[in-house]
C-alpha cells in the first residue's frame, strides 16, 4: 500500500513537473508524454500488452507513455483515430495485424488507407493453434486431416469470429490442404476454448497465448501451430510444416506493433523506434511479458513494413473466402 501511495505521489509529481518545467528545446523529442491509441477496451489482451509496455518504456523514451483506449467496431474506430491523429510524434498507435487489413478489406467506407500509417516496429506475434479436447480421437494433425477428408464438411471447428484472424488462418489451411470443415464463430478465443473442453465442438483454432494454459493443464491438445517456428511456450507442439508436410503461411497470426500517422519526421520516428527496440530488450520487461505468456517477436520499422507488404498481398488472395 505504502508503495502504491509512493508511486501515485510520484506519478502526480512527475505530471506536475512535466507541465511546468519542460522548456521546449528545438530538436529534442519527446518533451512531453506520448499518447498511444489502443483500438480495444481496457483490460483486454491488446490493452494489457500496451500497459505493460507503458510501464517499462519511460527510461527508454524519456517520457511517459499514456494509453488511450478507442475501442469499437473491431478496431476500426481506433485505427481511424490514429490515421487522423496529428503527426507531431506525440500520438502513436498500437495496431493489430491482420485485424487492420481485415477491417479495411471486408468493409465498405472504411475511412483510412494502409498508406496513412508509417511503421515503428512490431512487438509481438501470437500464432493460431489447432486444438482438440485431450481425449479426442485426433491424436495428430494427420488424423485430423484424414477425418476432415473422409467426413467432408462435418467436422465442426470453433474460433474467434466471424471474419477474424483465426478464421482467416483456417480458410487458408482448408484451401491448401484441400479439406472442408464447418467453421462456427464464437465470441472470442476464450469461449471457443471452453466449447472445445466441453466437447461441444470437435476442434478449435484459438490464439496460442489464450490456449497455452489449458494445454499445459492437460485439458486441450494442440495438433499444430500455424507458424514457421515452434511456439516458445509450447515447444512440443509441431509447426504446421512439420505436422502436415505442407507449406501453409501463418498469415492468421495476430501481431501487435507500433505505428504513427504518416508525416512524422524521420528523426522522431527514429527516436520512437529506438525506444521500443530498447524496451523489448529490457530484461525486466521481458520477464514481465513472459509471466503473462505473451510471445515477443520484435521487428524493426523496415522489417515490419516489409512483412506488412507481404501479408497484405497474402491476405488479399484469401479475403474472398471470408466473405
Which range in 88-96, 179-187, 240-248, 261-269 contacts other proteins by CB under 8 A? Answer: 179-187
Q: Give 320's contacts (C-beta < 8 A, 6+ positions apart).
A: none
Name which of 12 and 246 has its Cβ closer to other proteins.
12
Q: According to the binding rule CB under 8 A, does residue 293 interact with other proteins? A: yes
- Looking at the chain, list the stretches that DSSP marks H as alpha helix, in order from N- to C-terminal side: 2-20, 45-61, 76-84, 99-106, 141-150, 165-177, 189-197, 208-216, 240-244, 266-280, 283-292, 301-318
Q: What are phi and psi of 292, to 5 degrees?
A: -75, -15
User: Residue 152's closest CA among 177, 169, 121?
Assistant: 177
Name which of 190 and 314 has its Cβ closer to other proteins.
190
Nearest distance from residue 235's CB to other proteins, in Å? 17
Q: According to the binding rule CB under 8 A, does residue 194 interact with other proteins? A: yes
List the x/- string, 59-88, binding to other proteins by CB under 8 A: ---------xxxxxxx-xx--x--------
Q: 122: which strand partners?
A: 257, 299
The residue within the footprint of other proteins, chosen from 87, 140, 156, 278 (CB under 8 A), is 156
List the x/- string, 11-30, binding to other proteins by CB under 8 A: --------------------
161 neighbors 167 (Cβ within 8 angstroms): yes
Name which of 59 and 213 has its Cβ closer to other proteins.
213
DSSP letter (8 states) at residue 120: E
Q: According to the binding rule CB under 8 A, does residue 213 interact with other proteins? A: yes
Q: How far apart are CA 213 and CA 34, in angstroms?
A: 34
106 neighbors 321 (Cβ within 8 angstroms): no
Q: Which residues bind other proteins (CB under 8 A)?
A: 1-4, 7-8, 41-45, 47-48, 51-52, 54-55, 68-74, 76-77, 80, 106-107, 109, 153-154, 156, 161-163, 182, 184-187, 190-191, 193-195, 197-198, 200-201, 213-214, 216-217, 219, 288, 291-293
Amino acid at each position: 500500500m505504502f508503495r502504491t501511495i509512493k508511486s501515485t505521489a510520484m506519478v502526480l509529481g512527475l505530471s506536475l513537473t512535466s507541465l511546468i518545467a519542460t522548456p521546449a528545446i528545438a530538436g529534442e523529442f519527446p518533451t512531453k508524454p506520448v499518447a498511444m491509441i489502443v483500438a480495444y477496451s481496457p483490460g483486454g489482451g491488446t490493452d494489457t500488452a500496451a500497459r505493460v509496455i507503458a510501464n517499462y518504456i519511460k527510461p527508454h523514451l524519456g517520457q511517459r507513455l499514456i494509453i488511450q483506449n478507442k475501442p469499437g467496431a473491431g478496431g476500426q474506430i481506433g485505427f481511424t483515430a490514429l490515421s487522423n491523429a496529428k503527426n507531431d510524434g506525440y500520438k502513436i498507435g498500437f495496431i493489430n495485424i491482420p485485424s487492420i487489413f481485415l477491417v479495411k478489406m471486408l468493409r465498405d467506407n472504411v475511412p483510412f488507407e494502409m498508406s496513412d500509417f508509417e511503421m515503428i516496429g512490431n512487438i509481438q506475434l501470437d500464432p493460431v493453434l489447432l486444438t482438440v479436447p485431450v481425449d479426442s480421437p485426433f491424436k495428430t494433425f494427420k488424423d485430423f486431416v484424414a477425418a476432415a477428408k473422409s467426413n467432408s464438411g462435418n467436422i465442426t471447428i470453433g474460433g474467434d469470429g466471424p471474419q477474424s484472424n483465426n478464421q482467416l488462418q483456417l480458410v487458408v489451411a482448408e484451401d491448401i490442404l484441400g479439406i472442408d470443415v464447418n467453421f462456427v464463430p464464437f465470441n472470442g478465443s476464450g469461449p471457443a476454448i471452453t466449447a472445445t473442453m466441453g466437447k461441444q465442438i470437435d476442434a478449435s483454432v484459438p490464439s496460442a497465448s489464450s490456449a497455452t494454459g489449458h494445454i499445459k493443464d492437460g485439458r486441450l491438445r494442440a495438433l499444430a501451430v500455424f507458424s514457421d517456428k515452434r511456439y516458445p511456450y509450447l515447444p512440443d507442439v509441431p509447426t504446421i510444416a512439420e505436422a502436415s508436410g505442407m507449406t501453409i503461411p501463418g498469415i492468421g497470426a495476430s501481431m501487435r506493433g507500433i505505428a504513427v500517422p504518416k508525416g512524422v519526421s524521420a528523426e522522431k520516428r527514429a527516436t520512437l523506434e529506438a525506444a521500443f527496440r530498447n524496451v523489448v530488450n529490457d530484461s525486466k520487461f521481458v520477464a514481465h511479458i513472459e509471466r503473462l505468456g505473451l510471445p515477443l517477436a520484435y521487428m524493426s520499422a523496415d522489417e515490419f513494413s516489409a512483412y506488412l507488404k507481404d501479408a497484405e498481398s497474402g491476405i488479399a488472395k484469401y479475403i474472398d473466402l471470408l466473405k
